[in-house]
Structures are given as C-alpha cells and as structure tokens.
C-alpha cells in the first residue's frame, strides 16, 4: 500500500483512498480459513456487534465442562465488584433463573480483522443495505503509515437464507467483482482486494468522503432561496463534475469496453479530500458495477442472456399507456430503448442517455423525466419530452450545455452522441485531457 489515505465517513457509497493492491492480470480473490482479531497483539481497541454465523478459529481447544463452570464462576464474581447497582440487580435476576444469552462475536464485528499479506481491522459501519454492509477497514503499512479503506461485507448466511435466490445473488456478486476488479481510473471507485471466507466475501475499496452528486443537488435545491433561486450547481462545479463523469465513461466505453447500465446521481461519489474542494469542487468517483458488463460485439440478440429483472415488452401499436413491471437500473435514467427491450443490451448508448439526464440535473436541480405516476414518466421518456426552457434559464444553461444535453437525449440511437463526442464538446473546451 503506497498512497495516502482518506479519513472516515458516514455516507455510502462514500468510499475513497488510493493504494493499489491488485496487479493487473492477477486474481484478487483470497481464500481465508479464519478471521481472527489482532486485539490480543496490538493496542487497537474497537468494538461493534453484528449478526450471523462466525468462523471457528484454528488451534482452539475444548475446555471440560467442569473447568468452564469454575472459570465462569470466577469471572462472574470478579465482574460483580465493578457493576453498577442496576447491573448488579439484573445480574442477580438472571442468576435466579432467567439467563441472558451472551452476544456471539462475528468475524465482521468492529475490532475483528481479516486479510492475508495485508491485515485489516474492521471499524465503524458506513452504510448498510439488504445484502451487505459497508464498514471502515484500517491497516498499517510497513513504515507505520495508517490507512483507512472501506470494506463491503456480504455475508453468505444472508444469501443462504434466501433459498430460492441464494445462488442468483452469489452469482451477481461474483459478476460485479469480475468487472470491477479490472477497472483503474482516477474517476472510478477503486476495488483494492477481495477476500472470501466461509462467513462472507470482503471487498476492500477506497473510502470516499463527501457524499454523492445526488447529495450536492439536493443541497443546492434546499438553499435555492439563498442563491437567487438557482436550484442547480454553480456553473463551474456543474462543468467540473460533468467532465469527470464523461472521462470515466470514455475509459469504460473505449478503453475497457464496458457498459455501466446504472449511471445516476446516487452512483457518482464526490471525494472532498483534495485542497480547496469546498470552493473548487472535489473529485468524482463512479461506483456500483452490479449491472455493468463487458461489451460483446459478436453476440447476436438471441444469444444475449436475460437481465436480473424483466424489461417491459415493446408496446403494441396505438398504445398510449405503458406500465412496466420492472426496469433495468433506475426508471428516471432509463432510455427509450432500455424501456422496450426484452433482452440484455450490450451497448453504451444507454449510458450516454443517462449521462444527459445527469447533466440536466446538475444544471437545473431537476430530473428531465419525472412524474408522480411512473407510467407518465415512461411516456415522457418514450417520447423524449423534456423542458429545454428550464435548461436555458439555468445558471449553467449556456448554448454549449443545451447542445450537449440535446445530443445525449436524442431518441434516435443512431443520432445520439458517442462518449468521444461528449468529451470533445464545446462546453469542455479548456478542460484537462479526459484520459
């Protein structure tokens, strides 16, 4: 680990520091038989509880029942002397017949460690989702430098609990890792290492501080009254983040031949650790590659594998009402083609459409396609109807921005801008090289 670290955070997808531990061309997975705590050997003192099964450490020996009882009795007697009156009361109550079951430590509790060549100590929780939790991961380099990363812990016990979808969820995690592990770009969240145990999969990534583009837009909207009614970002910040995201997409589409499929404000992290970030802006980091995939130029439509969700069928002629049961990614960012396709699309045009949605939102503080009724949102997208007047009135709504958004939100996929045209647009003249 050779780079400087970022500090801790309390937001998600908020995860960034830059040391690199995965040499290109080498596998990042490590198989661990044990996950143990370094607390007995160091002065680190961290603690937090979590749930599900634990991994039995090797080398543990069985203690006879009688000996365990004597030890337990001695511990109870010594502990009582330092108890508060309330604790002593509850303790005596338990001894009279109501025994409290002790909390069982888990391998992903705060203070536990994992890793092989590099040892990480688990810190506080950053964010929690349905099938995983993100926590801080602390480590110390050979020269004594302390680094803080983030670790996404996906417990196998949680996946196993869903007997029907367990295999599918595990495959989705493996798929995300298979794409994400090869990506290395200044504006893409870096996956450092992956460790697999019987308890969980530990994905070590950069720790990000600063929230997301969604958070920034929301803050601007809430303070519009103090900013002459401007709901969007300041023009220089809107341009900065739009260019950084375009740079990340250029790398994905042209260099790595990857389509992201879930480009949205919430998946654009902002690292605010750079100097003068509060005034000049931070650095964008694109994250969440759960729907990403490599482009397959030789795949025929019939050979494409189905998505994790079912796309709405193409509407019949004359139909004016479309009610999709599910959408790939997020509805407000879906392209017209993405709404009507009934197969997995190996193309980048959907990312460009979603990029246009983000640029519009950065400038105006609003999403171009949004309605209280999802079916109405679908109709707006299919007709490519959006309020260009709001963009013209926005503080960042110069002619160059309007031209960029119109090119990205072009209904005809053949006339839609490519990522190369986006990076080279007039609005970005004078910006640093996209690579």
Buried b (16+ CB within 10 A) or exposed e, 216-234: bbeebeeeeeeeeebbbbb
- Fold of the CATH domain 213-428: Transferase(Phosphotransferase); domain 1 (1.10.510)
Q: What are the beta bridge partners of residue 138? A: 121, 148
Res. 403: pLDDT tops 80: yes
In the beta sheet, which residues pair with residue 135?
125, 151
Selection from 138-142, 311-315, 395-399 with the highest mean pLDDT = 138-142
Q: Which is higher by pLDDT, 346 or 321?
A: 346
Distance of CA 333 to the CA centre of its chain: 17
Residues, the chain, total? 435
Phi, psi for 294 (deg, rounded to 5): -75, 145
Does the reported pTM lie above 0.75?
no
Backbone angles phi, psi at 185, to 5 degrees: -155, 145
Helix axes 399-408, 349-364, angle to 10 degrees: 150
The per-residue pLDDT for 393 is 87
Q: Where are the domains of the chain?
A: 29-48+106-205, 213-428
One fold for 29-48+106-205 and 213-428: no
How much is the pLDDT for 11?
Answer: 40
DSSP 417: P
Give me the percent of the chain exceeding a pLDDT of 90: 47
Highest mean pLDDT among 70-74, 218-222, 429-433: 218-222
The pLDDT score that the predictor gives to residue 91 is: 54
CATH number of the 29-48+106-205 domain: 3.30.200.20
* HSE value, Cβ hemisphere, 13 Å, CA-based, for 201: 20
Report, as an integer, the average pLDDT of 132-149: 92
Residue 85's pLDDT band (cuts 50, 70, 90) = low
With 80 as the cut, is the pLDDT of residue 13 above it? no
Model confidence band, residue 323 (pLDDT cutoffs 50, 70, 90)? very low
Distance CA 95, CA 99 (A): 7
Say if strands 191-196 and 29-31 run parallel, antiparallel, or are unpaired.
parallel
Q: Which of 232, 225, 228 is nearest to 362 (CA)?
A: 232
Burial class (CB in 10 A: 0-12, 13-18, 19+), 88: middle
**Angle of helix 349-364 versus helix 235-250 axis, rounded to 10:** 170
Residue keyed to tokens 């079912």? 310
Check residues 193 and 88 and name the one with the higher pLDDT.
193
Measured CA distances, 37 to 46, 108, 112, 114, 143 (Å) = 10, 10, 4, 8, 22
186 has a pLDDT exceeding 80: yes
**CA angle 200-203-204, nearest 5°?**
135
Our CA dihedral for 185, 177, 331, 359, rounded to 10 degrees, sits at 0
Q: Which of 174, 223, 246 is closest to 425 using CA atoms?
A: 246
89 vs 426, residue with greater confidence: 426
Contact yes or no for 139/1 (Cβ under 8 A): yes
Mean pLDDT estimate for the chain: 75
């Amino acid at each position: 680990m050779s780079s400087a670290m970022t500090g801790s955070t309390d937001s998600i997808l908020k995860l960034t520091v830059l040391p690199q531990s995965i040499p290109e061309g080498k596998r990042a997975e490590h198989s661990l038989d044990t996950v143990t705590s370094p607390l007995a050997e160091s002065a680190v003192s961290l603690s937090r509880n979590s749930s599900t099964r634990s991994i039995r450490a090797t080398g543990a020996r069985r203690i006879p029942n009688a000996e365990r009882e004597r030890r337990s009795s001695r511990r109870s007697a010594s502990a009582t002397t330092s108890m508060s009156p309330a604790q002593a009361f509850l303790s005596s109550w338990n001894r009279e017949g109501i025994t409290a079951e002790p909390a069982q430590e888990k391998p992903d509790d705060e203070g536990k460690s994992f890793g092989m060549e590099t040892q990480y100590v688990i810190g506080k929780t950053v964010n929690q989702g349905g099938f995983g939790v993100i926590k801080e991961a602390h480590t110390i380099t050979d020269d004594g430098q302390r680094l803080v990363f983030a670790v996404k812990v996906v417990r196998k016990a949680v996946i196993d609990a869903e007997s029907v979808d367990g295999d599918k969820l595990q495959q989705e995690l493996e798929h995300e890792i298979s794409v994400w592990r090869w990506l290395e770009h200044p504006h893409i969240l870096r996956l450092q290492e992956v460790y697999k145990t019987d308890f969980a999969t530990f994905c070590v990534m950069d720790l990000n501080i600063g929230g997301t583009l969604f958070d920034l837009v929301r803050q601007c909207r809430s303070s519009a009254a103090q900013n002459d009614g401007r709901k969007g970002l300041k023009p220089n910040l809107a341009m900065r983040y739009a260019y950084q995201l375009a740079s990340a997409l250029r790398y994905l589409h042209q260099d790595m031949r990857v389509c992201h499929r879930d480009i949205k404000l919430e998946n654009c992290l902002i690292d605010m650790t750079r100097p003068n970030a509060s005034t000049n802006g931070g650095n964008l980091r694109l994250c969440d590659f759960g729907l990403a995939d490599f482009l397959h130029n030789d795949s025929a439509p019939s050979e494409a594998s189905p998505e994790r969700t079912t796309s709405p069928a193409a509407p019949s002629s004359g139909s004016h009402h479309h009610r999709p049961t599910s959408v790939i990614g997020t509805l407000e960012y879906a392209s017209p083609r993405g709404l009507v396709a009934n197969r997995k699309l190996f193309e980048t045009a959907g990312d460009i459409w979603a990029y246009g949605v983000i640029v519009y939102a950065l400038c105006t503080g609003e999403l171009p396609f949004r309605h209280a009724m999802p079916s109405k949102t679908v109709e707006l997208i299919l007709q490519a109807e959006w309020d260009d007047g709001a963009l013209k009135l926005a503080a960042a709504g110069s002619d160059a921005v309007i031209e960029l958004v119109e090119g990205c939100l072009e209904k005809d996929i053949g006339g839609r801008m490519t990522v190369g045209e986006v990076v080279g647009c007039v609005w970005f003249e004078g910006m640093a090289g996209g690579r």
